[in-house]
C-alpha cells in the first residue's frame, strides 16, 4: 500500500505541476509579460514544484530527513543522471553565463548547505547541525538576489533572446488549471510523503535514503524527460541551464522555505551525500570548461557557446551516479 501511495502521490504531483505551470503561464501571457520573463519565473517555478511541495509537506509533517534528502538527492540526480543521459544522446552546449555564474552559484549553494549541516564544526560542538528559521530566511534572500540577477541579465541581452513559448488559453480554463494544479500538488505531496515514510519503516531504512533515491528521482523525472526530448530535437543547449537553475532553486528556495516553516535537523544525511553533491557540481564545471571556448550551435554565429559536454563525459557522470546508488544500497 505504501508503494501505491508513493506512485499515486508522484503522479498527482507531476500532473499538478504541469497544470499549474501551463495555467499560470497562460495568465501571465494575458498580462502581456514576455515569453522570456515567463520562462525564467513561472516555468522555472513549475519545474521545481514537485520538489517544493514534497519538501514543504515533509517539513510540515516533521520529516526533516525526507525534506533535505529530497533536495540533495534531486540535485545529485539532476547533475549526474540528467546531464549524463542527455550528453549520451548528443553533446551538450554550455553557455558562457552558465560557466561564469550559474554553475559556480550552484556549487556555492551546495557548500552553504554543507556549512549549515556541519555547524558543530564551526561552533566548537556547541550548536546542533540544524537549518534554522533564520538560516531559511538567509537562503531565501540568496534566492531572491539570484532571481533578480537572472531576470536583469536576460532583459539586458543583445538581440532579445527568445524564451519559453507560451500557449494562451481561455481565462476560465487557465484559472481551472491553476486551481486544479494546486489541489493535485498539495494532495499528491501529502500522499507521497505518507507513502515514503511508510515505505521507509517497512524496509527498515531511514527516510533520508528514501528521499535521496526514490523520491528524488521521482520528482526529477519531468526535468529528465524535458532534457532528453530537447536533445533529441536538436536543442541540447537548454539541458545544462535547466539543471543548474533547478539545483539553485532547490537549495535556496525549497530548503529556505521548508526550514522557515519548520527547522530542519536531518539525521540521515551524512558527509558522503554532501560531498557527492558538491563534487558533482565541480565535475560539471570542469567538464564544461574542458572543450569549447568558441563553439557555434548548428554553425550559427549568433549562437556562441563557451563549452561542450561530450558523450564520454556524459558516460562518466552517469557512472558516478550508478556508483553513488550502489554506495547507498550498501549503506
pLDDT at 292: 52
* Average pLDDT value for residue range 290-304: 53
Q: Which residues contact 268 (CB under 8 A, 6 or more apart)?
A: 65, 69, 206, 207, 208, 209
Q: Where do the structural domains in the chain lie, given as residue ranges? A: 2-330
CATH architecture of 2-330: Up-down Bundle (1.20)
pLDDT digits (tens, 9 = 90+) for 18-66: 787 778 777 777 777 665 566 556 666 767 778 888 888 888 888 888 8
| Structure-model confidence comparison of residues 157 and 114, the more confident one | 114
pLDDT digits (tens, 9 = 90+) for 67-77: 899 999 999 99
Mean pLDDT, all residues of the chain: 80
Cell numbers that stand for 145 in this block: 538576489
Percentage of the chain beyond pLDDT 90 is: 26
pLDDT at 158: 46
pLDDT at 234: 67
**Buried/exposed code over 129-164 (b: 16+ C-beta within 10 A; e: otherwise):** bbbbeebbebbbebbeebbeebeeebeeeeeeeebb
- Cell 549549515 locates to 116
For the sheet with 92-94, list strands across it: 92-94, 304-309, 292-296
Q: What are the DSSP E strand ranges found in the chain?
A: 92-94, 292-296, 304-309
3-state secondary structure labels for all residues of 98-134: HHHHHHHHHHHHHHHHHHHCCHHHHCCCCCCCCECHH
pLDDT digits (tens, 9 = 90+) for 219-241: 787 777 767 777 776 666 667 87
| Structure-model confidence comparison of residues 108 and 123, the more confident one | 108
Coil, strand or helix: which one is 308?
strand
Amino acid at each position: 500500500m505504501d508503494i501505491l501511495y508513493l506512485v499515486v502521490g508522484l503522479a498527482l504531483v507531476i500532473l499538478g505541476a504541469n497544470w499549474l505551470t501551463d495555467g499560470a503561464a497562460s495568465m501571465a501571457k494575458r498580462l502581456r509579460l514576455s515569453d522570456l520573463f515567463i520562462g525564467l519565473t513561472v516555468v522555472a517555478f513549475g519545474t521545481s514544484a514537485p520538489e517544493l511541495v514534497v519538501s514543504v509537506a515533509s517539513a510540515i509533517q516533521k520529516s526533516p530527513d525526507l525534506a533535505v534528502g529530497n533536495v540533495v538527492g534531486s540535485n545529485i540526480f539532476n547533475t549526474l543522471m540528467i546531464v549524463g543521459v542527455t550528453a549520451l544522446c548528443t553533446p551538450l552546449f554550455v553557455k558562457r553565463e552558465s560557466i561564469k555564474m550559474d554553475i559556480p552559484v550552484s556549487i556555492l549553494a551546495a557548500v552553504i548547505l554543507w556549512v549549515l549541516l556541519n555547524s558543530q564544526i564551526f561552533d566548537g560542538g556547541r550548536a546542533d547541525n540544524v537549518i534554522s528559521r533564520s538560516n531559511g530566511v538567509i537562503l531565501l534572500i540568496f534566492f531572491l538576489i539570484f532571481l533578480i540577477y537572472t531576470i536583469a541579465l536576460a532583459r539586458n541581452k543583445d538581440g532579445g533572446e527568445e524564451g519559453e513559448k507560451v500557449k494562451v488559453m481561455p481565462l476560465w480554463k487557465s484559472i481551472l488549471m491553476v486551481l486544479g494544479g494546486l489541489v493535485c500538488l498539495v494532495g499528491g505531496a501529502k500522499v507521497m510523503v505518507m507513502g515514503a515514510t511508510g515505505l521507509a519503516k517497512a524496509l527498515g531504512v531511514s527516510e533520508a535514503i528514501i528521499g535521496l533515491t526514490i523520491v528524488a528521482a521521482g520528482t526529477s523525472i519531468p526535468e529528465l524527460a524535458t532534457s532528453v526530448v530537447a536533445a533529441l530535437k536538436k536543442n541540447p543547449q537548454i539541458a545544462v541551464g535547466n539543471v543548474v537553475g533547478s539545483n539553485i532553486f532547490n537549495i535556496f528556495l525549497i530548503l529556505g522555505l521548508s526550514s522557515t516553516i519548520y527547522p530542519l535537523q536531518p539525521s540521515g544525511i551524512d558527509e558522503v551525500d554532501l560531498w557527492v553533491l558538491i563534487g558533482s557540481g565541480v565535475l560539471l564545471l570542469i567538464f564544461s570548461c574542458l572543450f569549447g571556448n568558441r563553439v557555434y550551435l548548428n554553425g550559427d554565429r549568433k549562437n556562441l557557446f563557451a563549452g561542450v559536454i561530450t558523450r564520454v563525459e556524459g558516460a562518466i557522470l552517469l557512472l558516478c551516479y550508478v556508483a553513488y546508488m550502489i554506495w547507498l544500497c550498501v549503506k
